[in-house]
Structure 1
Amino acid sequence: MAVKINGFVVPEDLMNLLSSMASNWGDVINKNILKVVHLNGAMTNKVYRISWPTTREDDNRTVLVRIYGEGVDLFFNRDEEIWTFECISKHGQGPRLLGRFPEGRVEEFIHAKTLSADDLRDPETSALIAAKLREFHNLDIPGSRNVFLWDRMRNWLNEAKNLCSSQQANEFRIDTLEEEIDILEKELSRDCQEVGFCHNDLQYGNIMIDEETRSITIIDYEYASYNPVAYDLANHFCEMAANYHTETPHVLNYSLYPGLEERLRFARIYLSSSGNQPCDTEVEQLVNDAEKYALANHLFWGLWGMISSYVSNIEFDYMEYARQRFQQYWLRKPKLLGTSKVSTNGY
């Protein structure tokens, strides 16, 4: 039967899994010695740190438990996500999968610091992220190398149409978005664009750093797929406008969007981390592409916010988040699709 610890109802299947894992490690656990801490900031799942004492004095065993959010099957296939998780783990990236139960899974707990919103703006940390992102994009994950972005957005648009009210459909111009997706795909797709295995959700909470070794770990691969690498850079730049650990975590501040110099520096480090020094034209082209892919990013997360507002039980104002994303799309589209030059003004 389920037990409640520190406000968290531990499902019976999870308790059995933890007991089995502990036994394999030579530990003995029960509900009275488990310590459970809810980790804030996750908006797709609920995440907990669970620990218990081992047989060694002053030593604790710690795992991360992910409880799947309501309605996430509308966004991605969970079995495919688990498969991706395991593939990435085999490449030595991220945590190991320790076990699964019907409501979620247990992962290796990474003993490192999760980044904050401010950390993304630190030049040294940003450089480490850029190099790690290049490494991530070069992962050889089996499967189709076709760009997944456009079909995913069209699928999400259909879900949003089925869920939203007529008032919201009018406010967010739902009936026009299919055409907007078509326009973006035509305008942004290029035969010579680089496609890699993208994370697609590179917010600060999905990046960890070992403060001793300064090594970066990218976690949480629910939305990972092959996409243009410029889209992933766009996603990361857009996430600099967010801080999910405030009293209003849904509010975005686009005055914090990185300026041109910051974007160019990130792109140069990203491209040079493989060992080849890029020319200025290559760096500028990547930044320019990323700026335009920010439009796709706004539609992507705008649709995600709309759907989540109906299906998620996580406390977050998804609809207001979606509203801000769509507003940015319509605000930036005339400038970004009307010029071929790098924007110097940012947001």
Structure 2
Amino acid sequence: MAVKTNGFVAPEELMKLLLTLSSNWGDKIDTNMLKVAHLSGAMTNDVYRISWPTKMENDNRTVLVRIYGEGVERFFNRDEEIQTFENISKYGQGPRLLGRFPEGRVEEFIHARTLSAGDLRDPEVSALVAAKLREFHNLDMPGPKKVVLWDRMRNWVGEAKSLCSSENTKEFGIDTLEEEICILEKELSRDYQEIAFCHNDLQYGNIMMEEETRSITIIDYEYASYNPVAYDLANHFCEMAANYHTETPHVLNYCVYPGLEERQRFARIYLSSAGNQPSDSEVEQLVDDAEKYTLANHLFWGLWGIISSYVNHIDFDYMEYARQRFQQYWLRKPQLLGTSRASTNDGVNGSM
């Protein structure tokens, strides 16, 4: 019973799930009446909005369908991600899980606007995001409350080694990255740093806003885990250099990376959203820590790009994206860690 609409071939198990859901809701699906829209900007999965008429005149039922990208099991455990999704939903955060099928899942469709790249620079919207991120970090999620970042990157280095050509291995210095991860873990880990449940992928496409209430919803928890909150802020700041809705979505523009005042404003709102007014020194410490964690963020997403280029066939130049993240890593490392240690790879670093 596969249905082909707008170039999308619906798997048979998905159609069975949609028929079950629609029946539970009192609808009757006519496959010829399905409306399917591919939602751009996703780089791990293919995401679709699917709707159909209900018995009410001029009323449509809408769900979000996520088709898992190829090779994603190399990045995270899908069963653990589903558990995270369900737990966050229990807290009233994000969409509800409506059902699963072998190739993906069906989620509640949130009737809100996905933010744009420009929205992240709007002071009012940015303040709402900062407060929501504090709320997200306060979630008490099950499992060990230990930093996942470093071991996850080490695992990804192993994946990259197993996939990379000799040319890419040399260009990105894959054989030296475990040492770089050890350096960062030693230099950046501090006893005073707050560890919380972090989103780890806070790009604008994963943030939605209901226009009337101005309420923020953070979605897509595939990379979520316990980490230093400074790392999550670093990730969000780095994402301000990206616009995934252009003709060249992989191109990053670090000329628009947020300045010190903008980062301080975000950190102050983030820290004060729980009702306590932070001191200037607390704000400065968080901003400084976040800036150093951008190095870990560049390695994290650089490795993601390398691996994705070999396993994922979504129309996105993963390798060039990885190249830019590694370039930023080698450019910023001496400035942020106060070291002049040169890269041992002549490819990415040498192209700066």
Question: Which bracket does the TM-score occupy, shorter chain normalised?
Answer: over 0.9
- Residue 165 of structure 1 corresponds to 165
1:149 partner letter: L
1:281 aligns with 2:297: no
- Residue 155 of structure 1 corresponds to 155
1:81 partner letter: E
Distance 1:128 1:241 in 2: 19
Distance 1:152 1:270 in 2: 26
- Residue 299 of structure 2 corresponds to 299
1:26 partner letter: G
Distance 1:230 1:296 in 2: 11
Long gaps (5+) in structure 1: 340-347
Distance 1:6 1:285 in 2: 50
- Residue 345 of structure 1 corresponds to none
**Contact 1:87 1:141 survives alignment (8 Å):** yes
Question: Percent of counterpart pairs with the same letter?
Answer: 83
Cα distance per residue 1:147-180 (max 9 Å; x no partner): 0000000000000011011111111111111100
Long gaps (5+) in structure 2: 340-352
TM-score, length-scaled by structure 1: 0.97
- Residue 31 of structure 2 corresponds to 31
SS of the equivalent of 1:110 reads coil
- Residue 345 of structure 2 corresponds to none
Distance 1:195 1:283 in 2: 16
Distance 2:30 2:24 in 1: 15
1:331 aligns with 2:331: yes
- Residue 222 of structure 1 corresponds to 222
Distance 1:312 1:322 in 2: 14
How far 1:111 sits from its partner (Å)? 0.2
How far 1:30 sits from its partner (Å)? 2.2
- Residue 211 of structure 1 corresponds to 211
SS of the equivalent of 1:63 reads strand
Distance 2:74 2:175 in 1: 20
Distance 1:105 1:114 in 2: 20
How far 1:234 sits from its partner (Å)? 0.1
1:172 partner letter: F
**Contact 1:114 1:209 survives alignment (8 Å):** yes
Alpha-carbon RMSD: 0.6
Distance 2:260 2:30 in 1: 54
- Residue 99 of structure 1 corresponds to 99
- Residue 344 of structure 1 corresponds to none
Aligned length: 339
Cα distance per residue 1:103-140 (max 9 Å; x no partner): 00000000000000000000000000000000000000
Distance 2:175 2:44 in 1: 26
Distance 1:47 1:63 in 2: 11
Cα distance per residue 1:319-341 (max 9 Å; x no partner): 000000000000000000018xx
SS of the equivalent of 1:202 reads coil
**Contact 1:97 1:107 survives alignment (8 Å):** yes
SS of the equivalent of 2:124 reads helix
- Residue 109 of structure 1 corresponds to 109
Distance 1:58 1:153 in 2: 49
Distance 1:279 1:56 in 2: 55
- Residue 181 of structure 2 corresponds to 181
Distance 1:252 1:170 in 2: 23
Cα distance per residue 1:61-112 (max 9 Å; x no partner): 0000000000000000000000000000000000000000000000000000
1:287 partner letter: V
1:32 partner letter: N
- Residue 62 of structure 1 corresponds to 62
SS of the equivalent of 1:32 reads helix
Distance 1:116 1:43 in 2: 16
2:65 partner letter: V
- Residue 45 of structure 1 corresponds to 45
- Residue 128 of structure 1 corresponds to 128
- Residue 15 of structure 2 corresponds to 15
SS of the equivalent of 1:144 reads coil
1:320 aligns with 2:320: yes
1:272 aligns with 2:285: no
Distance 1:30 1:106 in 2: 18
**Contact 1:5 1:31 survives alignment (8 Å):** no
Distance 2:7 2:256 in 1: 35
How far 1:54 sits from its partner (Å)? 0.4
SS of the equivalent of 1:227 reads strand
- Residue 144 of structure 2 corresponds to 144
- Residue 344 of structure 2 corresponds to none
